[in-house]
Amino acid sequence: MARQARRDASTPSPTAAESRDGDPGEIATLAEIRRLAAGCQRCDLYKHATQVVTGEGSDHARLVLVGEQPGDQEDRQGHPFVGPAGRLLDQCLQEAELDRDECYVTNAVKHFKFERRGKRRIHERPNAGEVQACKWWLDKELKILKPRLAVALGATAVRALLGRAVGVMKQRGQILPGPDGLQILVTVHPSYLLRIPDSDAAERARAAFIEDLRKIHGVLGK
């Protein structure tokens, strides 16, 4: 707990961070977000990550998929959802008859947070202060895109989009009202599916995830 408290205390307030990044109103395009975020120091995660990983996809996307943070492969390659969880997401989107090229894919936190164990870098969940600091970038992405629906992939994404904690397993598959008329579909992160050891349970969880994604058609149509 003391370790967590020290991290939260070291996270700069959003107001201080915004003063470094400039007037939020000046950011008008996704290309500007990518350019400005490359120098982001809103929290301490930039000190250890290889690079910032902003969202990618259609500039006219009606659907935004929001994950937690970049993983090891995303941090190395500089693109969101290109590791094992991303490949599984692509497969599930295809089975749900959704085209990733028509979506915008991003994360609540733009830098990889990890614990080093020998040569391995083990994923570590961002704390509330880091999520809040990085929410500034997510809010700018959403303001520019003006999507009709955001899919919250896991608890961190839900917190970033709604500003409060929601029980993902209780609310999964439900569409909740978000800020500024945005609708938010709650579901699990695809990495959750990869961690299920029992193959039968994993297949059932995968089918349930695809059914969650199919509900997107009810909002956007086919």
What pLDDT is recorded for position 11? 42
Q: Which residue numbers in the chain have pLDDT < 70?
A: 1-25
* Among the listed residues 124, 161, 127, the one whose alpha carbon sits nearest the alpha carbon of residue 141: 161
| This prediction's pTM | 0.88
By DSSP bridging, strand 103-107 and strand 56-57 are antiparallel
Summarised one tens digit per residue, pLDDT across range 191-203 is 999 999 999 999 9
What pLDDT is recorded for position 131? 96
- For tokens 């050891």, the residue is 197
